[in-house]
Amino acid sequence: MRRIAVLNQKGGVGKTTSTVNIAAALARQGMRTLVIDLDPQAHATIHLGLMPGRSGPSMYESLTDNLPLEKIKKTVAPNLDVCGSHIDLAAAEVEMISMVGREMILRDLMAAEMSHYDYVLMDCPPSLSVLTLNALCAAGEVLIPLQAHFLALHGLSKLLETINLVSKRVNRELKVAGVVVCMFESGTRLGTEVVEDLDTFFDKRRSNTAPWAEAKVFKSKIRRNIRLAEAPSFGQSIFDYSPTSRGAEDYASLCLELVGIQVPETSEIATPDDPPLVVKTEPSQAPEPAQATEPAQTPELIVAAKQEPVVLKPKEQLPMVSRPAPTPMIYQRPDVSQSVPKPHVMDSKPMPADRETSWTYVTE
């Protein structure tokens, strides 16, 4: 059984998308696959069509109450099971602080009943927390999704330091399987330079004893594709939502490379979205020259009908009527003294004697 932790402490690099679609591709190859969602956001659970809190117990009950994984897993597709997550998993870190050997809880749960699976993929949260340490202690390999940007490359060094520390002190078998470049755009210079820097970094450390000594940058790069962003809203993998898209093609190629099948590297330039449908049309042939016909004897147009020809007479042209040009208008300024009325002056009315006034006289 291969236990793979899909990990990157930077968010938005494609961890959940890679976990779900790689697991779906492995299941389609006949591999018995299990997805363990360790992210309190439960995005992998939603991606596979389950509703957090409505699909029974989650990883929160398994980690805090020692509930077996067999009782919380759900089958979502042939050869594909998932242990869902819930927002309560965020509180599990606080509850696990006082536990002895809190980093080993997930490893003990997997060793008890998960031996009949071929692959176990763990979707880790975007942080180096207790949940992430549980995944590193239970995993044998680490798969690092990475976006071809400078900041994502800068955070890779911190992640490798954490993996090296866990490998020395807790899990001696932990290795870095490789880096998956996600949201890749080969037409940009930045993406090409980042991939070259990654290749140079891992090539210089082949003889080292670090966990990433045998790591590689996978040839199958996940190109930017809008279908991958639409699939989670339908609760389906990319193979169920859009099996002919470029996202399905890239993850199928990555699955074969992860299993060990050599995949030739393509030199196709990636585009942000699926290419538009292009309909090829044959070039129009040159029109045949019109056959010479006898000149018409009359200007009338004769159209062949059922049996008798119908004669259409040309439309009569109306006679041209000449109209005189309009005379230009001359603006004359009106006499202001005649047009503006005089102000009206109101006659003052005497105030009645019995009317009380509201004036207050103040005298010093």
Q: Is residue 122 pLDDT above 60, yes or no? A: yes
| pLDDT band at residue 323 under the 50/70/90 scheme | low
- Quote the tokens at residue 3: 């236990």
Reduced DSSP (H G I as helix, E B as strand, rest coil) percent helix, strand, coil of the chain, to 5:
35, 15, 55
In a domain, 227, yes or no: yes
* Domain assignment of residue 110, yes or no: yes
Tens digit of pLDDT for each residue in 198-236?
888 888 877 678 888 888 899 999 998 899 999 999 999
Does residue 59 have a pLDDT over 70? yes
Domain span at 152: 2-259
Give residues with Cβ within 8 angstroms of 110, minimum separation 6. 3, 69, 120, 138
**Is the pLDDT score of 255 beyond 60?**
yes
The pLDDT value given to residue 190: 84
Average pLDDT, the chain: 78
Nearest Cα to 33, choosing from 262, 211, 258, 263?
258
Instruction: Give the pLDDT band (50/70/90) at residue 305.
Output: very low
Place of tokens 């749960």: 109
Question: In the chain, how many domains are there?
Answer: 1
Q: H or E segment at 217? A: strand 216-217
Threshold 0.75, pTM exceeds: no
Note whether residue 304 is domain-resident. no
- 308, part of any domain: no
Most confident region among 91-95, 101-105, 172-176 by mean pLDDT? 172-176
Residue 75 lies in a domain: yes
- pLDDT for the residue numbered 197: 85
Q: What SS3 state is found at 119?
A: strand
Q: How many angstroms separate the CA atoms of 141 and 138, rounded?
A: 9
Query: Looking at the domain assignment, is residue 345 inside a domain?
Result: no
Does residue 331 register a pLDDT over 60?
Answer: no
Name the residue among 231, 44, 220 with its Cα closest to residue 124: 44
Q: Is the pLDDT of residue 134 over 50?
A: yes
| SS3 category, 226 | helix
pLDDT on residue 319: 59
76 CB-near residues (< 8 Å, 6+ apart) = 48, 49, 50, 82
CATH number at residue 60: 3.40.50.300
Confidence (pLDDT) at 302: 43
Determine the average pLDDT of the residues in 327-355: 54
Inside any domain, residue 344: no
Q: Does a structural domain hold residue 46?
A: yes
